[in-house]
Chain A
C-alpha cells in the first residue's frame, strides 16, 4: 500500500507541470475562448425566437456591413462631413509622418515579416482612424460610437495618467498627512461603477445637483450640459476620471517610492532642481511602470459602459454612446447578431490599440 502511494505521488509529481497550469487553461478555454467562438458565429447570423426556442440564420457579413456601410453606419462610424482644407492638410501631414516612419524602418535593415506586417497594419490603421476622426468631427459630420469611444479612451487615459502622476508626485514629498491623502485618494476605486454613474448623475443634474446654485451664484446659470454633445462627453469623462485616477495614483506612487533613493540623492548633491530630478532621473525610472499601467487602463477603458449608460443613456442623440453601450443596447432588444458584431469590432479596435501602444512603447523602452 505504502509503495503504491509512493508510486502515485511520484507519478503525480511528474505530472505537476500539467496540473499547475491546466485549471487556468481550462477555465479560460471554457469561459473565454469558447464564448468567443460562439460570439463570432453569432455575429455572422440573425437571431430569432421561434416556437419553443430560437433560431440562428447564417447571414455572412451582413451585420458588419450594416455597421460599416449600411443603416447603422451613422451610429457606428458616424456621419461624414466634407473635409476642409485644414483637415486635408492634417491628414496629409499624418500620412507623411507615417510614411517617413515606415521608410526609416525599412532603411534600418532590421526587417522581419512580423515587423513589416505589424507596421503596415499600424500605418493603415492610424491613417484610417485619422481620416475617420477628421471626417466625423468636422462641422458637417457627426462622430459615431467608434470615434466617441476612442475619445473616451485616449483622453480618459491621458488625463487620468497626468492627474495620477501629479498627485503621486505631490504625495511622494515628505509632508505631514500624506498617509491620509493616500487613503482618501483610493476611495473612488471602491465604488461600483454603476453607483458612480448614478452618483454623478445626481451631482451634475441641473435641477437637483449641488453645484447649480454655485454656477448661478457666479452668474453662469444652470448649464444644460446634457444638450451639448461635447459637454456630455466630457461629463462622462469626468466620472471615469473620478473613478480611475486612484488606480493610476496608487501604482505611480508605489513606483515613485520604490525608486532607488540613492539616484535621487546623487542628483540632489549634484545640484539638480526638483524639476530636473523629475525629468532626468525619476521619469526615466518610472517609464516601464507607466507603460504597463497605461496598457492596463487602455484595455479596461475600451469597455466603458456604465457611465454613458446611466449618466446620459448615450445622449444627446448618440453623442456620448460608447461601443460597449452600443452593443449592449442592441443586445437588450435581442438583436444578438448586431450586438455581437459591434462587440467584435470593439475587440479588433482594442487589440489594435493595445498592440500599437505596446509596439510604440517597447520601441521607446529599447532606446532607453
Chain B
C-alpha cells in the first residue's frame, strides 16, 4: 500500500474510481472516435454526393463541397421539384404504412403477449395438427384440383369443425403457452422469399394488391413475433397484484388490459413500436412484391434510382438522406426507451 505510483500505474491505472487512466482513456477515445468515423463517414459521403453533379462523381472522389468541387442543388431539385409527387407519394405511403402497421402489430402483439403470460392455454396437439392437415388439404384442392377458393375454404372449415367435435375429444396431449410463443417466434425464421409469392397471390385474389392495406397486413404479420417476444417479457415484469385488485373491483379482462397493463408498459411499448417502425420503414422485398405505384414505399424509390444507366448516385443520396432524417430525429428523442425496452425483451427472452 504505497501512495507513490509506478510509471505503469500512472499510465494504466486510474487515480480514483471516477477516473479512467490516461492510456486506457486515450485508447478508448481513439477507438470510439474511429467507430464514430466509421458510422458517420458513409452518411457524410451521402450528403456530399447529393450535392455533386454526375461528372463530379465519375471523375474520382472529391471530398469537400465548396473546396474541391462546386456544390450543386440539382439532385435535390430533381427529387423535390421534378419528381415532386413521385417523391412525396412514396413518402406518405411509407409514413402511413409503417405507422399503421406498427400500431396494429403492437396492439395485436401485446394482446397476444399479455395473454401468453397471464392465461394458460392448452390446445390439444391433435386438433392443431388436424387443423394444419385440413389447411394443407384446402390449399391442395385449390391449387391442384382448381376448386374455387371460397368453397374450398368453407368446406375445409366445416370438415374441421366436424372432425373436432367427433374425433377431437379423444386427444390427450396438449400444447402449452411456451409452445404457442415459440410457434409465433419461429415465424421470424421464414425467409421472406419463401412466402412472398403466395402472399402476392392471396392479395391479388382479394383485390388488395398495391394498396396500403396489403402492406400493412403483411408487415403486421412479419413483425408480430418481435412484438410478442418483447412485450411478453415486459408484461411478466408487471406485478400480478395490480390486475388482481382491479379484477376484484369488477373490471373485465379487457378493461384491465387497456386501462392498467398498457399504461404501465409504456416504455416497452414505445421501444417495441420504434423497433417495428424502423423495420417497416426500411423493408424492401415485401414492398417490392406487393406494391406497384400507389403503395410504393421509399426503399423502392432508393432502388429505383438504379436505372439502366446505372445507379444515379446523386439522386439516390438525396432519397436516402430524406428517408433517414425523420427516423434519426425520432431516435434521438426516444433513444433511452429503445435501450430499455430492447433489454427487457432480450434479458428474459
Contacts and interface: CB of A to CB of B under 8 A. Distances in A.
A contacts B: CB pair < 8 Å: yes
A131 interface: no
Interface in A297-325: 299-300, 302-303, 305-306, 310, 323-324
Interface hub of B18, B190, B327, B332 (most chain A Cβ within 10 A): B190
A85 interface: no
Given A23-B111, A191-B320, A199-B320, A346 B202 contact: no
A183 B36 CA distance: 10
Contact of A347 (B61, B115, B191, B284): B191
Nearest to B343: A254
Interface residues of chain B: helix, strand, loop or mixed (majority):
helix
A34 interface: yes
Given A21-B112, A175-B20, A198-B302, A31 B221 contact: yes
Nearest to B115: A20
Interface stretch (A36-44, A93-101, A132-140): A36-44
Nearest to B19: A174
B87 interface: no
B288 to A, nearest CB: 10
Interface string B331-349: 1100100111011001101
Interface in B313-336: 313, 316, 319-320, 323-324, 327-328, 331-332, 335
A292 interface: yes
B112 A20 contact: yes
A360 interface: no
Given A41-B140, A331-B193, A28 B35 contact: no
Interface string A240-274: 00100010001101110110000000001000001
Contact of A24 (B35, B228, B252, B298): B228
B232 to A, nearest CB: 11
Interface residues of A, number: 104
Contacts of A20: 111-112, 114-115, 119, 253, 257
A114 interface: no
Interface string A35-78: 11111011000000000000010100000000000000000000
A17 B197 CA distance: 33
Interface residues on B, range: 35 or more
A149 B114 CA distance: 36
A362 interface: no
A80 interface: no
A17 B111 CA distance: 10
Given A21-B112, A208-B60, A250-B339, A189 B278 contact: yes
B84 interface: no
Nearest to A253: B339
A17 B115 contact: yes
A346 B189 CA distance: 10
Interface residues of chain A: helix, strand, loop or mixed (majority):
helix
Contacts of A35: 194-199, 202
A193 B288 CA distance: 14
Interface of A: 9, 12-13, 16-17, 19-21, 23-25, 27-39, 41-42, 56, 58, 163, 166-167, 170-171, 173-175, 181-196, 198-203, 207-213, 242, 246, 250-251, 253-255, 257-258, 268, 274, 288-289, 292-293, 296, 299-300, 302-303, 305-306, 310, 323-324, 327-328, 331, 336, 339-340, 342-344, 346-347, 350-351, 354
The 8 closest A-B pairs by CB, nearest first: A343-B194, A31-B221, A20-B115, A38-B198, A35-B198, A24-B112, A35-B195, A254-B343
Given A35-B198, A181-B35, A340-B197, 9 more contacts: A39-B195, A56-B144, A188-B39, A255-B343, A258-B347, A268-B17, A324-B192, A339-B197, A351-B189
14 contacts: A21-B115, A28-B184, A33-B132, A41-B139, A192-B323, A198-B306, A212-B61, A254-B346, A255-B346, A255-B347, A289-B347, A302-B191, A327-B193, A347-B194
